[in-house]
Structure 1
Amino acid sequence: MPGTGTGLRERQLARLARPGSGPALVVVDVQRDFAEPERVAAYGPTDDALAALDLAVTRIEHLVAAARELDVPVVWVELGSDPARPWRAGNWLRGGDYDAPMGPDEPCLLGSPGAEWFRARPADGETRVVKRGYSGFLGTDLDARLRAAGRGWLTVVGLTSECCVYATAQDAVQLDWPVVVPRDATAAYDLDVNAAALVQLGLNVAVLSDADEVVGLWKRGTR
């Protein structure tokens, strides 16, 4: 567990706000199958959870716009479920059948409407990384791309907080990236699950923040 000494957070953020610190924004799985209310209904979200999801996407849109204005690279991580390469452990975990073929209801099937971006979307020239599991780093070249771009720390946002955002942020810190997660730019389909995920992220993975504070860090770090 990270240290909790007096002034720790101030020291952490001061390191990230240094001129030339090289921030990047990593947007995870803001896709229709994970964000469009009609498509997430099967997860049973309450009206309050849907409102929180909508707010998170709005804050992500705000962060993407601010990043572009400040020349902070935006990296888009997206799930691409490929029937030719089923994630068998995922099949087993969710349904108990390790050898089951990928069904038509699998989220974010490659080329399907559900895999499309939801509201926020990449601009021409922005990096896109397709993953087949939870983490944007596992089995991809995301780490290499960020290092080639001279980045120094990451803001990780997206959906959902307890799953793909957590896995991506956890892998990032284990790969030696300082990570900031804005509480208002991620969500889950259950408010209690989201709250627990944020506690876990703050304990062992990231500095928790909010979108406005992150933009302030970017402004100081890109002077």
Structure 2
Amino acid sequence: MTSRIALLPIDVQRGFDVPPWGRRNNPQMEINGRRLLAAWRERGWPLIHVRHDSVQEGSTLRPDHPGNAFRDGFEPRADEAVVSKSVNAAFIGTDLDLRLRRLGVDTVVVFGVSTDMCVSTTARVASNLGYRTVVVGDACFCFDLDDGAGGTIAAEAISAAHLATLRAEFAQVLDTSELLEKIDAL
């Protein structure tokens, strides 16, 4: 049963550490994400890395920018697949759905950057495509955002709202420890 669960690390890239990206929440994201990778690798379960290859001029995530590289500890191993995307959802313009279906996957576990953008969008599309979807909330982070009226919405509030929305309709939302405790029962 559990081999039908794929882990999808989303956009865990160095480009989010440099301007124009602002203050982020959840400094534990990397620790928790590495725990998830280790659990999947130990079990030999399906793992597909997702990388944002931006087509936007000046983006820190463009393939020709050093920020396109994966963060330390999140580099794919030689036998692990990488899906390259240029939009928020990892399923749009990629072969991710085909890869998952060929592996017999019916459940996806999603984590990474950023909670409100690519993680949320990928989780929503996964759910709409019929995958049982789990978002690991404490293995994600997002950034403060301009509220459009001269203020700032804190990353913590953005994360909480997006995880609540995902939980309400699209995904089971768990913390890393909860997931690792329940992993064999998923």
Calculate the TM-score normalised by the size of structure 2: 0.87
Equivalent residue runs for 1:9-158 within 5 Å: 19-20=1-2, 22-34=4-16, 36=17, 39=18, 41-45=19-23, 49=25, 52=26, 54-82=27-55, 102-103=56-57, 105-119=58-72, 120-158=74-112
8 Å contact kept, 1:22–1:150: yes
1:136-193: CA deviation from partner (whole Å, max 9, x where unpaired): 0001100000110111201000000000000100000000000011121111111111
1:71 Cα deviation from its structure 2 partner: 1.4
Gaps of 5+ in 1: 1-18, 83-101
Aligned counterparts of 2:2 and 2:23: Cα–Cα separation in 1: 41
Q: What is the percentage of aligned positions where both structures have the same residue?
A: 30
8 Å contact kept, 2:3–2:46: no
Aligned counterparts of 2:30 and 2:79: Cα–Cα separation in 1: 22
The higher-RCO structure (CA 8 Å, 6+ apart) is 1
Change (3 A) 1:28 1:20: closer
* Corresponding position of 1:5: none
Amino acid at match of 1:55: Q
Secondary structure in 2 matching 1:155: strand
Aligned counterparts of 2:158 and 2:140: Cα–Cα separation in 1: 12
Kindly indicate which of the two structures has a greater share of residues assigned to strand.
2
Aligned pairs, how many? 174
* Corresponding position of 1:218: 183
1:96-152: CA deviation from partner (whole Å, max 9, x where unpaired): xxxxxx42x213111321100012111111110000100000011000001101112
8 Å contact kept, 1:72–1:218: no
Stretch deviating more after TM superposition (118-127 or 156-165): 118-127
How large is the Cα RMSD of the aligned pairs?
1.6
Calculate the TM-score normalised by the size of structure 1: 0.73
Q: Which runs of 4+ in 1 moved over 4 A?
A: none
Aligned counterparts of 1:212 and 1:180: Cα–Cα separation in 2: 13
Kindly indicate which of the two structures has a greater share of residues assigned to helix.
1
Gaps of 5+ in 2: 144-154
1:218 Cα deviation from its structure 2 partner: 2.9
Q: Which residue of 203, 212, 217 maps to 2:168?
A: 203
Aligned counterparts of 2:129 and 2:83: Cα–Cα separation in 1: 17
Aligned counterparts of 1:115 and 1:43: Cα–Cα separation in 2: 14
